[in-house]
Amino acid sequence: MALADIAPRLRTGGLAVAREPAVAVLAYLAARAAGAIALAGWALAGGRPLLSPFTQVGDARWYLAIARHGYAADVAAYPNPKEPMAFFPLYPWLVRTADLVLPFDTAACALLLSWSAALLTALGLFRLGTLLHGPRTGVLLAVLWGVLPHAVVESMAYTESLFTACAVWSLYAVLRGQWVAAAALAVAAGLTRPTGIAVVAAVCVAALAALLHRRRPYAPLLAALFIAPLGWAGYVLWSGRAFGGGLTGYFAIQGSWGSHYDFGAGSLHLVADQLAAGRPEIALALVTAGAALVALIVVGVRQRQPLPLLVFSTVLVAIVLGGDGYFHSRPRFLLPAFGLLLPLAVLLSRLRTRTAAAVLAAAAVLSALCGVYLVAHTGTAVL
């Protein structure tokens, strides 16, 4: 689907684009409330503080430490003073700002930010799905994002909610021809996660395509090309210099965490290791998961998804599958790939309402159970 195909919908389908946003947000909220209640119940049953599973596990501890102390090299909370630089700054910056102006502690501010961003994401997914396939698909797309197996982090002090909000609204702005807004949101995405480069690529490719088709005015398109990379490139260059590694220093920071990009060699070695260890079922599951991701991109092409959405999904999947290290965290890294959910949302939209609701309710229960399992086993780096 080209941008030109969407323009008539924006002119004549304004009511459809604006329809039923509350349904999408409330349905998403219900799905995530089930997961949050299950996680809080697990914490209380184990005698843990109510909010501890949301703020004191995995990367959440790093983000809260950065919000409190910055990237200062002399902070005792950091085992390695350079390690915090692997975490992009926008989320802890916003948490710190909220902590200064709101009467809550840092952890509560982090959760408020994550939950608010998650609701903004749900609204953005509804708008995007409605624009492309109608309000029914928009509602289903929002809820699907909330019932994924790793959706628990959408309710935790993690960056996935903020990043996905920036990504979906940036791409929605592209589809509406709002190039400067799209670029500004790409800057925000680039300051939130390393995979922000996928949003940058989507905006820049779409702007280049529009320029090649000689669409006017040219100034917003050129501005988007210049502005969109500034967040990601700016932090990568700053952190690399601060680390002492120059232009490529950020990648050395990632290497200190045991993470680097090897174009999928590590993934292939993992599959081979599982086969050698006599675990063919795990190897098959890994290959099947990778093939499913590629298949969803192909389906997106066949459905004529807009170019920026396809670019975003493809680059994000390529980064996740092509990287080495933290293999158990890759499903979480893929949470922002909402374009891969669009074919599933379209499929569900063809079912009867009761059937679709039953499918999503079952998925919400499974997601809640999976969330408890993931948090309970964070020692194995599943998050």
Q: Where are the domains of the chain?
A: 3-380
- 136 three-class SS: helix
CA Rg value for the chain? 21
Distance (Å, whole) CA 108 – CA 105: 5
- Tokens 């298949």 belong to residue: 295
Distance (Å, whole) CA 382 – CA 323: 16
Distance (Å, whole) CA 346 – CA 221: 31
Is residue 76 within 8 A of residue 68, CB to CB? The reply is no
Q: Which residues pair with 323 in a beta bridge?
A: 261
What is the reported pLDDT for 383? 76
Nearest residue to 138 via CA among 341, 335, 286: 341
> What's the first-to-final CA gap in the chain, in angstroms?
35
Strands 323-324 and 260-261: antiparallel
DSSP 91: H
User: Identity (one letter) of the amino acid at 263?
Assistant: F
Is residue 185 within 8 A of residue 173, CB to CB? The reply is yes
Q: To the nearest 10°, the Cα dihedral for 243, 245, 248, 251?
A: -50
Backbone angles phi, psi at 260, to 5 degrees: -155, 165
Distance (Å, whole) CA 22 – CA 324: 40
Helices (H), 134-279: 135-146, 160-175, 179-190, 196-212, 218-227, 230-243, 249-256, 265-276
The per-residue pLDDT string of the chain (383 residues; one tens digit each, 9 = 90 and over) reads 555 455 444 443 444 444 588 899 999 999 999 999 999 999 999 899 988 999 988 889 889 999 998 887 555 556 555 678 889 999 999 999 999 999 999 999 999 999 999 999 999 999 999 999 999 999 999 999 999 999 999 999 999 999 999 999 999 999 999 999 999 999 999 999 999 999 999 999 999 999 988 767 789 999 999 999 999 999 999 988 877 777 778 888 887 777 777 777 777 877 787 788 878 887 788 888 888 999 999 999 999 999 999 999 999 999 998 877 677 888 899 999 999 999 999 999 999 999 999 999 999 999 999 999 999 886 555 67
- 62 three-class SS: helix
Q: Mutual orientation of helices 353-376 and 135-146 as an angle, nearest 10°? A: 20
